[in-house]
């Protein structure tokens, strides 16, 4: 039994609870590190690595896929709502107290439940306030800009009140709206900063500035290495050329761990997910599923080309097993004791130089630092992995 597993998880392990992908979050209820990436859930996918633009249409880039292993089965909206607010007085109900003029000459004033930032000379004034976070964790900034200005409207996250702009969202111009972005904290004290236009008398107004911790092992990508949303199959398409999503910070340990996928490769001899030559799942030249755990290489008896199947590499100190669609098809008895600090990639084998790019579709990737079958059967895991 996984330490700290919830009662719901016990019910799920017996297969008595309604199966759903979110039930797999119970595996991580004890706080174990892991990955739960659902590429069938557009609410967790964004076109850019900053999470500024949601995935909407077929062929939209996927540059950020949120890991939900810490969400306890909640949706992103539910989890966001349950997280504490880190920005004090971001709704400006009665005043702008706590907000400070940042950088250039200007004024910040309260304006009917909003904060107004007005320039007094030909420079770009800002307003900032500090918030506390944990270095290396992910956060989400939300900001409403009811009044923008074509001369300049911007916002960012920095390590100082008017400088050290670690995460810049830049000039959004004359475009009022609601904006979001994700960022990984680089210092314990960070600042949210909003900028107005630089001509005397010009101003912007902002409201509902919020920062919530949305931590996890989120997967990111930039440029043409981003895979794309596939509306017809409700998942993400990888081009087999350079597409992959990078998972920075998740390391496979030498002890118990697992790696799993639900995917459809369309070309043989490619990778679905993996950290390096020691930890990976893919298919070989005979279209068998293969999984590697340390010194052990396991091959399925079934083949995978052009069909969606799940693969589970489940590893403990003295044994590694490969299950395909919930059925154990290969077992290795030699102790696979190798650990790795290489970052996994989805759609390739990761590390600093990903390779073996998958042409095909991926629906879900789940991994963790424990053995699945200490908690539930491979068949139950499969049922949850493919559940709605």
Residues forming the site for Ca ion (CB under 5 A): 91-92, 113, 207, 224, 239, 242-243
**Which is closer to Ca ion, CB of 207 or CB of 235?**
207
**First-to-last CA distance in the chain?**
25
> Bridge-partner residues for 291, per DSSP?
281, 298
Q: Which residue has the tokens 């001899």?
A: 269
CA 194 to chain centre: 25
**Which is closer to Ca ion, CB of 61 or CB of 131?**
61
Distances (CA, A) of 305 to 47, 126, 270, 271: 28, 55, 11, 12
What DSSP line would sit under 228-264, residue for residue? Answer: EEETTTTEEEEESSS--EEETT--B-SSSEEEEEEEE
**Which is closer to Ca ion, CB of 62 or CB of 330?**
62
Q: How far is the CB of 250 from Ca ion (least distance, A)?
A: 23
**Which is closer to Ca ion, CB of 267 or CB of 338?**
267
CA distance 110 to 99: 11
**Which is closer to Ca ion, CB of 91 or CB of 303?**
91
Q: How far is the CB of 32 from Ca ion (least distance, A)?
A: 33
**In the complex, residue closest to Ca ion by CB:** 113
**Which is closer to Ca ion, CB of 21 or CB of 229?**
229
Q: How far is the CB of 176 from Ca ion (least distance, A)?
A: 14
Nearest-CA neighbor of 222 among 244, 248, 250? 244
Q: How far is the CB of 226 from Ca ion (least distance, A)?
A: 7
Q: How far is the CB of 206 from Ca ion (least distance, A)?
A: 9
Render the burial of 64-98: b for 16+ CB within 10 Å, e for the rest.
bbbbbbbbbbeeeeebbeebeebbeebbbeeebee
Q: How far is the CB of 237 from Ca ion (least distance, A)?
A: 10
């Amino acid at each position: 039994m996984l330490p700290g597993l919830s009662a719901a998880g016990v019910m799920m392990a017996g297969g008595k609870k309604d199966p759903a992908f979110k039930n797999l979050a119970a595996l991580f209820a004890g706080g174990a590190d892991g990955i739960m990436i659902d590429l069938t859930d557009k609410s967790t996918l964004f076109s850019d690595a900053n999470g500024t633009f949601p995935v909407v249409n077929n062929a939209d880039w996927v540059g950020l896929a949120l890991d939900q292993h810490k969400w306890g089965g909640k949706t992103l909206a539910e989890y966001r709502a349950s997280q504490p607010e880190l920005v004090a007085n971001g709704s400006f109900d009665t005043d702008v107290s706590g907000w400070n003029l940042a950088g250039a000459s200007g004024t910040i004033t309260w304006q009917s439940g909003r904060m107004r930032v007005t320039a007094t000379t030909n420079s770009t004034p800002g307003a900032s306030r500090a918030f506390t976070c944990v270095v290396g964790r992910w956060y989400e900034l939300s900001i409403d800009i009811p009044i923008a200005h074509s001369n300049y409207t911007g916002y960012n996250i920095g390590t100082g009140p008017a400088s050290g702009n670690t995460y810049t969202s830049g000039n959004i111009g004359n475009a009022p709206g609601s904006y979001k972005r994700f960022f990984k904290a680089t210092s314990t004290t960070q600042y949210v900063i909003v900028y107005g236009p630089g001509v005397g008398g010009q101003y912007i107004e902002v409201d509902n500035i919020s920062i919530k911790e949305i931590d996890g092992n989120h997967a990111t990508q930039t440029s043409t290495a981003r895979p794309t949303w596939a509306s017809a199959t409700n998942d993400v398409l990888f081009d087999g050329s350079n597409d992959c999503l990078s998972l920075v910070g998740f390391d496979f340990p030498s002890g118990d761990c697992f790696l799993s996928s639900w995917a459809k490769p369309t070309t043989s001899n490619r990778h679905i997910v993996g950290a390096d030559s020691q930890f990976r799942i893919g298919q070989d030249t005979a279209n068998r599923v293969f999984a590697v755990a340390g010194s052990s290489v396991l091959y399925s008896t079934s083949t995978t080309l052009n069909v969606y199947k799940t693969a589970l590499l489940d590893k403990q100190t003295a044994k590694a097993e490969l299950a395909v669609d919930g059925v154990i098809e290969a077992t290795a008895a030699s102790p696979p004791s190798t650990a790795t600090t290489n970052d996994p990639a989805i759609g390739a084998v990761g590390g600093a130089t990903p390779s073996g790019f998958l042409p095909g579709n991926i629906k879900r990737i789940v991994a963790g630092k424990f053995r699945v079958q200490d908690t539930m059967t491979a068949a139950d895991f499969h049922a949850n992995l493919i559940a709605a």
